[in-house]
Amino acid sequence: MFTTYLRRELVHRRKHSLIIAIGMALAIALVVVVNAVSAGVSAAQSTALASVYGVGTDITVTQAAEPGEGGGGPGGFSFGADEGTTAEDGTTTLEQTQLSTARGITSFDAADLDTVLAVDGVEDATATLSLESTSFSGEIPDFGQTPTEGSTGGMPAPPSGGADGAGGSSFGVDSFSVEGIDLGGAALGPLSSVELADGRTFESTDGGADVAVLDASYAESAELAVGDVIEVGGAELEIIGTVASTSADAATASDVYLPLDTAQTLADLDGQVTTVYVQATGSDAVDAVQADLEGALPEATVSTQSDLASSVSGSLGTASDLVASLGTWLSIIVLLAAFLIAILFTISGVTRRTREFGTLKAIGWSNRRIVGQVAGESVVQSLLGGAIGIAVGLVAVLVINLAAPSLSTTSTGGDAAAGGAPGGTAEGMAGGMGGGPGFGQQATTVAADVTLNAPVTVGILAIAVGLAVIGGVLAGAIGGWRAARLRPAEALRSVA
Amino acid sequence: MARGAAAARRGAAQRRLNRAGAGPRCPPGPRAGPPPAARPPPGPARASISTATVETVERPTKGAYTLAGVGRAYQQKGRTVHALSKVDLEIRSGDMVAVQGPTGGGKSTLLQLLGALDRPSTGTIALGGELLSQLGDARLGAIRGREIGFVFQHFNLIPTLTALENVETALVPLGVSAEERRSRASEALESVGLGERGGHLPSELSGGQQQRVAIARAIVKRPAVLLADEPTGNLDEETRDEIMNLLEGLWRDQGLTLVIVTHDSAVARRAQRRLHIKQGSVREVA
């Protein structure tokens, strides 16, 4: 009788059932879309972060440079009076290259890696040395020339020489990021999220060798290829391979990769590292490991993936913020509205059916049976809405995935700076000697375009069905409670 | 006269109830009467309700009511309305009683109390030996489901269920299997002449037919009591007579206790006993 009665009510009160179902469907569809997009944005963030921090990294350990410490970034370029080569016209050509830690961070003792590995909850860890190679080259005219013949009025003639032959100066600054990789370390860090584009990657026998692996995009922009030579820190290194990010369109974390000991030697930072990549034993251990690491290494900056996620900006960051704020709140509001509609309509239905329930009570139906009937109808209406909502949501997600919107992202290393963008050449920065702060400002960011793919998981569907059931049970319970409260004598006024 | 007799009887009825002990169960004697078919056919209309005092204990009590000092008061807009006051009444098993009276006189209240839909403010009501006035909601619901059939003026059929399903609803509280439910509901519809209309919705039936379905719903559980509230109030004369013939036939054949509230004197005259309620007081009409 329960099923028959329920079916007949739903069929005969179609309009009433449809309004509840449509309200619920709208809310459930929104929940499905928001959850799927949220998962897609999270995946895009992970992709963006993986291109910087590698796959499997839960925590990074770095050490920020103290103000005034002078750590991080290239120092000033200084030239002695006799440096450079002077041409016949008096123009002096100067060249100088510096290899130093990336801007904003400083190196620390590689032995800290052992400290990290000794912390409970640490599954694995590896250390890298993030460097920045900055080259200065320029031509300076001979400002000390005596007036040439033909000059008049005792005024000195304008200087000659320089790039334009009229006495002007020309400077060029070229910088690229360099990452020293521990060849015997764990499969974490920047090279864990790359694929070989050409040549080969490092082997264990490359330790201490003058070899380098280049980011494929950087190699292309710098017109370098496998077999060529690249100058890093005054040494010429053989390019043995190029790598590309596994994420389409994204660059890898650094422009040039070297064996860790080679990098340490060239940068004159023996036994020093700048970043430790840590993998926790599980996602639930991340917070505890972070706290323990902060205790074990008080001067270090310990960042988790969620900390790092905040460094993602660009339209991906906007999408993330949008989903997190607007999407979530919109879902909650629509869901509450749908629940409210279901509750109000159920109560209104109970009120309209007062005599009906009074009659059923008069013929002996228990409160429990009547509440069950009302709740059953409400749950079925909500489930119906949930099913429609899931279908609509799936279609919406399909449309999103077919449209495949591209989200641009700029992942800024911040205090966990590791890696750099494809090395930009600061050409044309004329005037002024010395590469002070300002050079390589983009060295700690990675730009990428990530295609948004909104996945629909069983979990999302379970949430949708669960919410529909909750909505139905809630409306049914309140409606049923109203029905149960009806006094049969009052409900049956026609008896009187 | 009836009131005086009832007052005398009230003391006796109360004493019987007191002897029954602390529990709500009423006096000794057979708990249930013989099967309806074996019951003695209702006799001629009794002129008074005062004769049932001691004999009731000896007679079948199924479907028999004993009301002692029953009063029902409501709070309405800050003042107390006494719908019934100090009613003493015996309705014996198998009685056919018509209740008449002006609107607002207390007919409805009396029917609600007899139907275990409400409890008195004062006094006691016993049905078949059970004190309804002391039972909880669940127990009252069970008694309604098992012992009491209702027929309403507006039929009160579930509009979304077919005639057959409407009749079945009365068997749901009894835990009857679906198959038996269907079979008994069909029989009940047959007995009211609507065997062919079981698949019809109430909206597809005439008023008389809807009332027949309501009667089938009331009798399908084979109750001891049938309470009818203006059962012919919405029907034309011809249909009224059909319905009354049907109710009277059921009463006679099944030995039901039948209480009919009506404004229609033609209907009331067909009853064995006629009660008149005015301003909360009940008197027997000779």
User: What does A50-85 look like in DSSP terms, one character per residue?
Assistant: HHHH-TT--EEEE-BPPTTT--SS-------TT-SE
Does A280 touch chain B if contact means CB atoms closer than 8 Å?
no
- What is the pLDDT confidence band of residue A448, given thresholds at 50, 70 and 90? low
pTM, entire model: 0.58
Query: Testing the interface with B: which of A353, A363, A365 to mutate, by most B Cβ within 10 A?
Result: A363
Q: Is B6 inside a domain boundary?
A: no
CB–CB of A364 and B154 under 8 A?
Answer: no
CA distance linking residue A418 with residue A181, whole number of Å: 12
CA distance linking residue A132 with residue A176, whole number of Å: 6
pLDDT digits (tens, 9 = 90+) for A451-482: 778 888 888 888 888 888 888 888 888 888 88
List chain A domain ranges.
Answer: 2-45+318-405+453-494, 64-149+156-299
Q: Which residues of A touch B229 (CB under 8 A)?
A: 494-496
Q: Which residues of A touch B118 (CB under 8 A)?
A: 487-489
Residue B128 structural domain: 17-285
Average pLDDT, integer, range A29-46 = 79
CA distance linking residue A36 with residue A65, whole number of Å: 40
Does A368 touch chain B if contact means CB atoms closer than 8 Å?
no
- A363, A365, A494: residue with CB nearest B154: A494
Does A484 touch chain B if contact means CB atoms closer than 8 Å?
no
Q: What is the DSSP string of B35-77?
A: -GGGSPPP-SPPS-SGGGTTHHHHS--TT-EEEEEEEEEEEET
Does A11 touch chain B if contact means CB atoms closer than 8 Å?
yes
Residue A287: phi and psi, rounded to 5, are -65, -40
Say which range, A14-18, A266-270, B4-8, B67-71, has the weakest mean pLDDT. B4-8
SS3 content of chain A, % helix, strand, coil (to 5): 45, 25, 30
CB–CB of B158 and A359 under 8 A?
Answer: yes
CB–CB of B156 and A355 under 8 A?
Answer: yes
Torsion from C-alpha of B221, B224, B228, B229, nearest 10 degrees: -100
Q: Which of A400-404, B37-41, B44-48, B255-259 has the highest mean pLDDT?
A: B255-259
pLDDT digits (tens, 9 = 90+) for A388-445: 989 998 999 899 888 877 766 665 544 333 333 333 333 333 333 333 333 333 334 5
- The residue with greater pLDDT, B41 or B248, is B248
Q: Is B10 inside a domain boundary?
A: no
Q: Which residues of B touch A13 (CB under 8 A)?
A: 160
Q: Would you say residue B186 has pLDDT above 90? A: yes
State residue A168's pLDDT score. Answer: 65
- B137, B145, B156: residue with CB nearest A359: B156
Return the residue of B nearest to A366 by Cα.
B141
CA distance linking residue A412 with residue B208, whole number of Å: 83
Contact criterion met (CB below 8 Å) for A281 and A287? no
Q: Would you say residue A41 has pLDDT above 70? A: yes
State residue A433's pLDDT score. Answer: 35
CB–CB of A4 and B145 under 8 A?
Answer: no
Q: How high is the mean pLDDT of chain B?
A: 78
Return the residue of B nearest to A370 by Cα.
B173
Return the residue of A nearest to B226 by Cα.
A363
- The residue with greater pLDDT, B198 or A489, is B198
Output the CA–CA distances (angstroms, integers) from residue B187 to B4, B166, B213, in the order listed.
45, 13, 12
Cβ neighbours of residue A241 closer than 8 Å, sequence gap 6 or more:
A196, A197, A198, A199, A200, A201, A213, A214, A226
CB–CB of B170 and A12 under 8 A?
Answer: no
Return the residue of A nearest to B153 by Cα.
A494
- A4, A8, A363: residue with CB nearest B144: A363
CA distance linking residue B263 with residue B153, whole number of Å: 11
pLDDT digits (tens, 9 = 90+) for A342-375: 888 888 888 888 888 889 999 999 888 998 998 8
Does A8 touch chain B if contact means CB atoms closer than 8 Å?
yes
Q: Which residues of B touch A359 (CB under 8 A)?
A: 150, 152, 156, 158
pLDDT digits (tens, 9 = 90+) for B94-151: 899 999 988 888 888 899 999 998 889 999 999 988 888 888 888 899 999 999 999 9
Q: Which residues of A touch B115 (CB under 8 A)?
A: 362, 495
Residue B258: phi and psi, rounded to 5, are -115, 120
Contact criterion met (CB below 8 Å) for A119 and A296? yes
CA distance linking residue A156 with residue A453, whole number of Å: 69
State residue B1's pLDDT score. Answer: 36
Say which range, A79-93, A440-454, B69-83, has the weakest mean pLDDT. A440-454
Pairing mode of beta strands A211-215, A256-259: antiparallel
State residue A173's pLDDT score. Answer: 77
CB–CB of A359 and B150 under 8 A?
Answer: yes
How many residue contacts between A and B have a Cβ separation below 8 Å? Answer: 101
Q: Which of A58-62, A89-93, B223-227 has the highest mean pLDDT?
A: B223-227
Contact criterion met (CB below 8 Å) for A384 and A21? yes
Structure tokens at A401: 């995935």
- A4, A361, A495: residue with CB nearest B152: A495
Query: Testing the interface with A: which of B113, B169, B200 to mutate, by most A Cβ within 10 A?
Result: B169
Does A359 touch chain B if contact means CB atoms closer than 8 Å?
yes
- A356, A364, A496: residue with CB nearest B142: A364
CB–CB of A495 and B108 under 8 A?
Answer: yes
CB–CB of A364 and B160 under 8 A?
Answer: no
Q: Is B3 inside a domain boundary?
A: no
Say which range, A18-32, A49-63, A384-398, B65-79, has the weakest mean pLDDT. A49-63
Q: Which of B163, B173, B172, B234 is nearest to B201 (CA)?
A: B163
CB–CB of A366 and B173 under 8 A?
Answer: yes
Q: Would you say residue A73 has pLDDT above 80? A: no
Q: Which of A280, A326, A307 is nearest to A411 (CA)?
A: A307
pLDDT digits (tens, 9 = 90+) for A166-197: 666 677 778 888 889 888 765 777 777 788 88
- What is the pLDDT confidence band of residue B34, given thresholds at 50, 70 and 90? very low
Burial of A80 (0-12, 13-18, 19+ CB in 10 A): exposed
- A364, A492, A495: residue with CB nearest B141: A364
**Mapping DSSP to helix (H, G, I), strand (E, B) and coil, where does residue A242 land?**
strand
State residue A309's pLDDT score. Answer: 62
State residue A420's pLDDT score. Answer: 35
Output the CA–CA distances (angstroms, integers) from residue A370 to A473, A483, A486, B175, in the order listed.
14, 7, 11, 15
Structure tokens at B231: 């059962």
State residue B14's pLDDT score. Answer: 36
Q: Would you say residue B19 has pLDDT above 60? A: no
The CATH number for B111's domain is: 3.40.50.300
The number of domains in chain B is 1
- What is the pLDDT confidence band of residue A212, given thresholds at 50, 70 and 90? very high
CB–CB of B173 and A356 under 8 A?
Answer: no
Contact criterion met (CB below 8 Å) for A389 and A24? yes
Q: Which of B208, B178, B177, B175 is nearest to B193 (CA)?
A: B208
Return the residue of A nearest to B148 by Cα.
A363
Q: Would you say residue B3 has pLDDT above 60? A: no
